[in-house]
Amino acid sequence: MSSGIIFMRKQNLILLTVSLFVGSFEAFGEAEVHEKLPLKDSIQSNILTIYKDATLIQQTRSISTETGKDGNTSFQGVPNTICPESLMITSAAKEGGFEISEFSLAPTAAGASDLGVILSFKNTTSNLLKQIQLLYLFKNLGWHIDYALYFSANYEDVKLNAWIAVNNKSGVGFSKSQIQFVDCLIPASFVPLNPSIDSVQAEPSHKGEMQTSSEPAHAYVCDQLVDIPANGIKRISWVNSLEIKAKQDYRLFVGGAYLDDMEGKSAHPIVETWISFQNTKEQTLGMPLPKGEVTLYHGDEKGAIEVLGKAFIPHTAVGQEVSVKVPATQAEKNFSTPNDDKALRTFETELEQTEFKKLSDKITESSYRLNLKNKANQPITIRVTLDLPQGEWTVVRENISHQQNGDQQVFWTIQIGANSEVDLKYRVRLIRN
């Protein structure tokens, strides 16, 4: 299975014709309950865009009419978690002579999880079947991805399995649906005029004002039609790669609190174990990976399997590197003396801030010495990463050249011989926003 990806920013996702009302049909309790609402339509297509907090559906239906007569028709299968004011109904046909004049929503039966839509129309055409298009938002249909990752004994061979779980609690099923999954909340929220409704998650400064964010969002398009049951979880295969080649490396992070005033104090950053591999077709991958939690397994030479715990895979586009942090308990084992039951560590770190200057309210400059001591009988390569806060920054000087990863991260790749130690010295100026 292959899938495509769409990169977008939330403000580009705003649907100007749709406003979000968070709630259910219970707010419209005065509606009459129709015990037997006749079904007079058929669903031609479903297109679902599933956000983290709601779902946008685009649906085409065929309805039956009488030749040249005005009248009413109805159809069922609309979730009762619909945002009623987001519903848009249009005629799919370009021909004139058919116009929807009004509609209403009503429960199909007492306690039912779906609603019926009753349409009044004006019709001067002879075509008995009309196509209409529906566009609306509804709640209680969500998604997430589950990863499972298996490492060989030497961590060089990896198997990756992933399933996107679609959790439908809306009470309405959707057959043969085109789906895309978006890893953000609905990008526009609307405060209803009724002040008694307090279920809106984020209130803007003015009623009716759209809420937007500049944070990037990612959409993942499924290239197969999917049947979603009315209630329950449907798991869709996203990745099944059994021949991935990986590499093991060690990382140490010196950003965050270490950038504050800690002059005269020392710290001992933890060396972490990471496993990395490329997201390419050559690795039997080559498709975008949504962010999600991963369960880690490790097999030894005798076939025994150890559960390492949980980790996290960030959003990874095609061609990028997938990096997974091995839990700290396993990282400790990797730095242990062989056959040593006490698991004494053979690698030591010490970070000292040798100077800290506050040049203004927003500008600071600080110097550091990071001592890396390898007490093992084999050489080790460590990647020292400095995550920087938002704003301008400069590495004023350093004794080992750094590399840059994005706008807010630099790193040093340091090789340390057996039974040796290395000092990394650097000075950083920060202009914080």
Reported as a single tens digit per residue, the pLDDT across 354-390 is 999 999 989 999 999 999 999 888 898 999 999 999 8
Indicate whether 35 pLDDT > 70.
no
Could you give the maximum distance between any two Cα atoms of the chain, in Å? 93
Beta bridge partners of 316: 289
Provide the token pair at 225: 């039609």
Distance in Å from the first CA to the final CA of the chain: 44
153-188 confidence digits (pLDDT tens)? 888 999 999 999 999 999 999 999 999 999 998 876
309-345 confidence digits (pLDDT tens)? 999 999 999 999 999 998 865 545 555 444 433 323 6
Query: Counting Cβ atoms within 10 Å, is residue 211 exposed (0-12), middle (13-18) or buried (19+)?
Result: buried
**Residues in Cβ contact with 50 at an 8 Å cutoff, skipping those fewer than 6 apart:** 141, 142, 143, 166, 179, 180, 181, 182
327 phi and psi, to 5 degrees?
-50, 150
* Band of pLDDT at residue 280, cut at 50, 70 and 90: very high
* Separation of alpha carbons 14 and 190, rounded Å: 12
Beta bridge partners of 430: 364, 393
**Residues in Cβ contact with 282 at an 8 Å cutoff, skipping those fewer than 6 apart:** none
**Residues in Cβ contact with 42 at an 8 Å cutoff, skipping those fewer than 6 apart:** 61, 62
pTM of the model: 0.75
pLDDT at position 209 is 31
